[in-house]
Amino acid sequence: MLGNMATAEKDQNKSARLYAQALELMPGGVNSPVRAFRGVGGTPLFIKSASGATLTDADGRTFIDYVASWGPMILGHADAEIVAGISAVAARGTSFGAPNELEVELAEEIVAAVPSIEMVRMVNSGTEATMSAIRLARGVTGRDKLVKFEGCYHGHADSLLVKAGSGVATLGLPDSPGVPAAVAQHTLTVPFNDAAALEELFKQPPDIAAIIIEPVVGNMGCVPPRQGFLEFTRDITTRHGALLIFDEVMTGFRVARGGAQDLYGISPDITCLGKIIGGGLPVGAYGGSRALMRNIAPTGPIYQAGTLSGNPLAMTAGLLTLRRLKDETIYRKLETRSARLCDGLAKAAAAAGITTTTNRVGSMWTSFFNDQPVTNWATANTSDREMYGRFFHAMLDEGVYLAPSQFEAGFVSIAHTEELIDQTIEAARKAFRTLRKGAGE
């Protein structure tokens, strides 16, 4: 079936029609901005169905998918066990607004897997998780300031939508109209992987409540922490009475079962989760020590609530996913296949005379059109976006669906067989060759 993709008739009518309709009904025709293909040009594909490692669009074309709904689909799409599980649970009611057994079971799985979490609160998205984690950090420290890193994304809460300033920022500027300057000024930004900048920031009066960090960045493309950098964030927060928040919404159960904190052996105070723990349904969570988490209502004064939080549908999808991920061979397989993919892509680029820099941790990766190491936002931002856009479309033509932006991570799932990976590499060989032609060589 996949073999026919390149030759399948390219009737984009249905996607194009839906997009035109959507543009009248939703801002940009989408419910989340990056989906609109602004980062690569062209018009988005409307997806009709997904199965395993593939997506099928409204016009019946099938693609090998490396977006994985931006991370959650580590088992592949429409996994039979999860589909059966949520169908059975749905028949018994989709939300009770009262406690249920599945919440306890998922909490148990998370606490057992993530080293620093003793107690957890479920929410409905990663955005809610980070927003609530920050409230908790501010609430317990009695401080207002927050440190984040340029290019890290932590959802769209006001405090976190702050522009990457140059050098050591003193006052944050809002990234988006509608974020009051009075809120943004409490968010300080420094370059990722820059211990000296962090040290400088902490020389101010002790008003920093927390550092929030993607321990392996996925949201400027994949950027791993330098050796010792996460240790440094742990050390400096401890020294200054601030909390360390690991935003593991993407890395949790992705780079290792216990997340980046397990992989690198660092214990944050608060951990944010999402994506994989919802198994493809809307979920987020935040957790930490019992002492810390008991500050949350109703045991403590810090308020946070949710009508659909802990609903049986999302809990079931998450629970079945996390149970499957107990099989240790899964992470080894993901590692082998992701390495095969990234090596293949790099070689295919080199063979076409194109320089790329590939960053990868486990099954999350990014190939940057960049001849320099990519270690932070400033270096990521020197990547050739225009070239990425052309590569993206050339890959689409070959039946491979990559993230529609240079600054996103790609994901390999257990449904990506070696065969599909080799097919992807073959597609890339052709795509890179068309780039050279496009460059007039």
Would you name the residues annotated as active-site residues? 153, 247, 275
Selected range binding ligand PLP among 58-66, 148-156, 222-230, 326-334, rule: CB under 6 A: 148-156
155 Cα distance to chain centroid: 10
334 Cα distance to chain centroid: 17
Q: Judging by DSSP bridges, how do beta strands 208-213 and 243-247 pair with one another?
A: parallel
Q: Does 155 bind ligand PLP (CB under 6 A)?
A: yes
For residue 391, give the H/E element and its range. Answer: helix 385-397
Nearby residues of 38 by Cβ (< 8 Å), 6 or more positions away: 28
Using the minimum distance from each CB to ligand PLP, give the nearer residue, 188 or 223.
223
CB 47 within 8 A of CB 55: yes
Using the minimum distance from each CB to ligand PLP, give the nearer residue, 274 or 389.
274
- What is the C-alpha end-to-end distance of the chain, expressed in Å? 33
The contact pattern for ligand PLP, residues 247-266, with x = CB under 6 A and - = no contact, is: x-xx----------------
The secondary structure of residue 269, as a DSSP letter, is S
Q: Does 154 bind ligand PLP (CB under 6 A)?
A: yes
- Closest separation in Å from C-beta 260 to ligand PLP: 10
Q: Which of 255, 299, 306 is nearest to 282 (CA)?
A: 306
Using the minimum distance from each CB to ligand PLP, give the nearer residue, 123 or 334.
123
Q: For residue 208, how many other CB atoms are within 10 A of its CB?
A: 24
User: Judged by CB under 6 A, which of 79, 214, 262, 269 binds ligand PLP?
Assistant: 214
- Closest separation in Å from C-beta 211 to ligand PLP: 14
- Closest separation in Å from C-beta 364 to ligand PLP: 10
Using the minimum distance from each CB to ligand PLP, give the nearer residue, 399 or 410.
410
Selected range binding ligand PLP among 119-127, 256-264, 345-353, 399-407, rule: CB under 6 A: 119-127
- Closest separation in Å from C-beta 255 to ligand PLP: 12
Whole-number Å distance between alpha carbons of 26 and 21:
9
Q: Does 153 bind ligand PLP (CB under 6 A)?
A: yes
Using the minimum distance from each CB to ligand PLP, give the nearer residue, 137 or 428.
137
Q: What share of the chain is helix, strand, coil (3-state, %, to 5)?
A: 40, 15, 40
Q: Does 125 bind ligand PLP (CB under 6 A)?
A: yes
- Closest separation in Å from C-beta 127 to ligand PLP: 3
CB 395 within 8 A of CB 402: yes
Using the minimum distance from each CB to ligand PLP, give the nearer residue, 31 or 166.
31
Q: Which residues pair with 271 in a beta bridge?
A: 246, 287
Q: Judging by DSSP bridges, how do beta strands 400-401 and 62-65 pair with one another?
A: parallel
Selected range binding ligand PLP among 122-130, 198-206, 236-244, 345-353, rule: CB under 6 A: 122-130
Report the b/e string of 234-269 with b at 16+ CB within 10 A: bebbeebebbbbbbbbbbbbbbbbbbbbbbbebebb
Q: Does 59 bind ligand PLP (CB under 6 A)?
A: no
- Closest separation in Å from C-beta 234 to ligand PLP: 18
Using the minimum distance from each CB to ligand PLP, give the nearer residue, 250 or 395.
250
Q: Does 392 bind ligand PLP (CB under 6 A)?
A: no
Whole-number Å distance between alpha carbons of 260 and 280:
20
Reading phi first (left if > 0) and then psi (alpha if -120 to 50, else beta), residue 221 is in left
Q: Does 268 bind ligand PLP (CB under 6 A)?
A: no
Using the minimum distance from each CB to ligand PLP, give the nearer residue, 149 or 153.
153
CB 159 within 8 A of CB 183: yes
Q: Phi, psi at residue 114, to the nearest 5°?
A: -95, 115
- Closest separation in Å from C-beta 203 to ligand PLP: 28
Q: Does 363 bind ligand PLP (CB under 6 A)?
A: no
Q: Does 150 bind ligand PLP (CB under 6 A)?
A: no
User: Judged by CB under 6 A, which of 151, 224, 225, 274 binds ligand PLP?
Assistant: 274
Q: With contacts defined by CB under 6 A, how many residues of the chain interact with ligand PLP? A: 15
- Tell me whether the omega of the peptide bond preceding residue 404 falls within 30 degrees of 0, making it cis: no
* Contacting residues toward ligand PLP, per CB under 6 A: 125-127, 130, 153-155, 214, 218-219, 247, 249-250, 274, 284
